[in-house]
Chain A
Amino acid sequence: QAQLVQSGSEVREPGASVKVSCKAFGYPFTGYYIHWVRQAPGRGLEWMGWINPKNGATKYAQKFEGRVSMTGDTSLATAYMELSSLNSEDTAFYYCAPERGRLGFDPWGQGTLVTVSS
Chain B
Amino acid sequence: QAVVTQEPSLTVSPGGTVTLTCASSTGSVTTGHSPYWFQQKAGQAPTTVIYDTNGRPAGTPARFSGSLLGGKAALILSGAQPDDEGDYYCLLSYSGVRVFGGGTKLTVL
- Residue B40 CB within 8 A of the other chain: yes
Query: Contacts A45-B89, A63-B1: A108 and B47 contacting too (C-beta < 8 A)?
Result: yes
- Number of B residues, CB within 8 Å of A: 25
> Do residues A44 and B89 form an inter-chain contact, with CB atoms below 8 A?
yes
Q: Which of A46, A50, A105, A109 contacts B36 (CB 8 A)?
A: A105
- Residue B91 CB within 8 A of the other chain: yes
- Residue B64 CB within 8 A of the other chain: no
- Chain B: interface secondary structure? strand
> Do residues B102 and A105 form an inter-chain contact, with CB atoms below 8 A?
no
Within 8 A of A (CB), among B12-55: 36, 38, 40, 45-51, 55
Which residues of chain B have C-beta atoms less than 8 A from A95's C-beta?
45-46
Q: Which of A44, A59, A97, A102 contacts B55 (CB 8 A)?
A: A102
> Do residues B45 and A45 form an inter-chain contact, with CB atoms below 8 A?
no
Minimum CB–CB distance from B95 to chain A (whole Å) comes to 9
Q: Which residues of A contact B (CB under 8 A)?
A: 35, 37, 44-47, 50, 59, 61-63, 95, 97, 101-106, 108-111
Could you list some 10 contacts between A and B, CB below 8 A?
A37-B100, A44-B89, A45-B46, A47-B91, A61-B98, A62-B97, A105-B36, A106-B48, A108-B45, A109-B45
17 A-B pairs besides A104-B36, A106-B57, A111-B45 with CB distance below 8 A are: A35-B98, A37-B46, A37-B100, A44-B103, A45-B100, A46-B100, A62-B1, A62-B97, A102-B55, A102-B57, A103-B57, A103-B58, A104-B51, A104-B57, A105-B36, A108-B46, A108-B47
